[in-house]
């Protein structure tokens, strides 16, 4: 098949594209490089500068130099309803062109959209907690709810979902959201792809005398990810046990440099409001590290995992999070066990070729 990925987030489409290409398909990635991560792409579709001028220049580029680059594919996979950094009406024009000039167009449910916000915020949400709502009370991201309820954005999101040929979800939470608006034959769970062949694990075989805690944060997404609260608790732990742990914090590093810093850790502090591990946590586990992230039982049941439990589950309660991290510091022998379990978990559920095959099987059903 000839496949085009348009848009990316946290290197998702690029990792997936590499796996699919290794399986004999012709694959092209057009993206903005996941912004500050500057990930690999074949076609750059980032704004050349900020503001309206940057949007205008990108629009001109899409309609001139890149016009013929988005034609003739069997499959096009977009990263979200807002797969381009343009106004909704501009995105819709490109979407319609992709539909006209190619075979089938699919959506990767990789992040927040209007339907996901609706699910998280409704009274009987299937999620006990999220950045939008925690046990029925407003969550830390609730001030942004109005942004997702703008009529022009809601209409755009509805249009994309109504006209897409299928959806592949990246996380359990997004799968819950999509199943509320689409019939079962229109979507599948794909998971997050991790290129395990390129990640050599360095297993922790001896309980560390001093546990290294690592927090990698995005400057503009701390409240959304809960890294502000994780940092506060981690600093309290480091102050209480200065001889038994240390804390390393990095912010907005380029992808390759970030991975190098990650390898010095024992425990990676990922995010607070998730039921599931995302890219950062899965990469850490593939390296043989431990991770504090989403590891709720509903997620393990969803993927059918009955034995491996490598994720140190984080919940949005500062006292409980403190107790969780304290237990890690005081029982370093458990770090050794989780080191190998984490790698085995990623190989089983998230290896990029495993995830790629789910995409390919779904596409072949539809084309």
DSSP string, 78-139: ESSTT-SSS-HHHHHHHHHHHHHHSSEEEEEE-S--HHHHHHHHSTT-S-SB-SSEETTEE-
Same domain, 166 and 210: no
Do 190 and 359 meet the contact criterion of CB atoms below 8 Å apart?
A: yes
Distance, CA of 28 to CA of 48 (rounded, Å): 21
pLDDT at 220: 67
Same domain, 39 and 163: yes
DSSP string over 135-178 = TTEE-TTGGGHHHHT-HHHHHHHHHHHHH-S-EEESSHHHHHHH
Residue 279 DSSP one-character state: H
pLDDT at 291: 96
CATH number for the domain including 71? 3.40.50.2000
Same domain, 67 and 203: no
Same domain, 77 and 146: yes
The count of structural domains within the chain is 2
Same domain, 85 and 211: no
User: Torsions phi, psi of 362, nearest 5?
Assistant: -70, -45
Cα 189 from chain centroid (whole Å): 13
pLDDT at 21: 98
Same domain, 74 and 109: yes
Distance, CA of 329 to CA of 238 (rounded, Å): 10
Domain coverage including residue 111: 2-193+352-366
Distance, CA of 71 to CA of 276 (rounded, Å): 36
Which residues, at least 6 apart from 35, have a Cβ–Cβ distance to it below 8 Å?
Answer: 46
pLDDT at 50: 84
The torsion defined by the Cα of 269, 273, 278 and 282, in degrees rounded to 10, comes to 40
Same domain, 156 and 215: no
Same domain, 113 and 28: yes
Same domain, 238 and 308: yes
- Going along 225-337, which residue ranges are E strands? 245-251, 267-269, 290-293, 312-313
Same domain, 20 and 151: yes
Same domain, 235 and 356: no
- The residue among 231, 236, 243 whose CA lies nearest residue 292 is 231
Same domain, 177 and 228: no
pLDDT at 150: 95
What does pTM read for this prediction? 0.93
Do 339 and 311 meet the contact criterion of CB atoms below 8 Å apart?
A: no
pLDDT at 36: 65
Name the helix (H) or strand (E) containing 212: strand 211-217
10-residue stretch averages of pLDDT, the chain, 367 residues long: 95 96 97 78 89 91 90 97 94 96 97 96 96 95 93 97 98 97 97 96 95 84 85 96 94 78 91 94 96 97 97 96 96 96 98 98 96
Do 216 and 234 meet the contact criterion of CB atoms below 8 Å apart?
A: no
Q: How far apart, in Å, are the Cα atoms of 226 and each of 13, 46, 103?
A: 25, 27, 40
Name the helix (H) or strand (E) containing 252: none
pLDDT at 32: 87
Which residues, at least 6 apart from 198, have a Cβ–Cβ distance to it below 8 Å?
Answer: none
Do 341 and 310 meet the contact criterion of CB atoms below 8 Å apart?
A: yes
pLDDT at 262: 84
The token pair at 151 is 């009529």
pLDDT at 95: 97
């Amino acid at each position: 098949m000839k496949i085009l990925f348009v848009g990316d987030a946290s290197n998702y489409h690029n990792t997936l594209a590499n796996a699919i290409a290794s399986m004999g398909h012709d694959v092209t990635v057009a993206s903005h490089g996941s912004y500050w991560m500057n990930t690999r792409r074949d076609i750059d579709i980032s704004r050349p500068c900020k503001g309206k001028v940057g949007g205008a220049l990108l629009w001109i580029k899409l309609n001139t130099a890149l016009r013929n680059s988005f034609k003739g594919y069997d499959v096009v996979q977009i990263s979200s309803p807002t797969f381009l950094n343009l106004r909704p009406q501009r995105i819709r024009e490109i979407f319609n062109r992709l539909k006209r000039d190619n075979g089938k167009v699919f959506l990767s449910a990789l992040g927040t959209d209007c339907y996901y916000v609706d699910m998280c915020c409704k009274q009987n949400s299937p999620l006990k907690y999220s950045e939008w709502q925690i046990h029925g009370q407003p969550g830390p991201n609730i001030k942004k709810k109005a942004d997702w309820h703008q009529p022009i954005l809601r209409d755009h999101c509805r249009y994309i979902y109504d006209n897409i040929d299928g959806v592949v979800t990246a996380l359990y939470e997004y799968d819950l959201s999509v199943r509320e608006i689409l019939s079962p034959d229109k979507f599948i769970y794909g998971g997050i792809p991790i290129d395990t062949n390129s990640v050599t694990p360095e297993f922790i075989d001896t309980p560390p005398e001093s546990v290294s805690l690592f927090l990698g944060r995005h400057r503009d997404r701390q409240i959304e990810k809960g890294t502000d609260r994780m940092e506060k608790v981690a600093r309290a732990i480091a102050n209480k046990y200065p001889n038994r742990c240390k804390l390393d914090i990095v912010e907005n590093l380029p992808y390759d440099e970030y991975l190098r810093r990650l390898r010095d850790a024992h425990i990676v502090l990922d995010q607070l409001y998730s039921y599931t591990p995302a890219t950062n946590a899965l990469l850490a586990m593939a390296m043989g590290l431990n991770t504090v992230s989403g590891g709720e039982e509903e997620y393990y049941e969803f993927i059918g995992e009955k034995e491996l439990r490598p994720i140190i589950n984080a919940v949005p309660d500062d006292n409980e999070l403190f107790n969780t991290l304290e237990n890690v510091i005081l029982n370093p022998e458990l770090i050794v066990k989780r080191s190998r379990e984490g790698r085995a978990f990623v190989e089983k559920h998230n290896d990029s070729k495993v995830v790629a095959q789910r995409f390919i099987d779904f596409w072949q059903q539809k084309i």
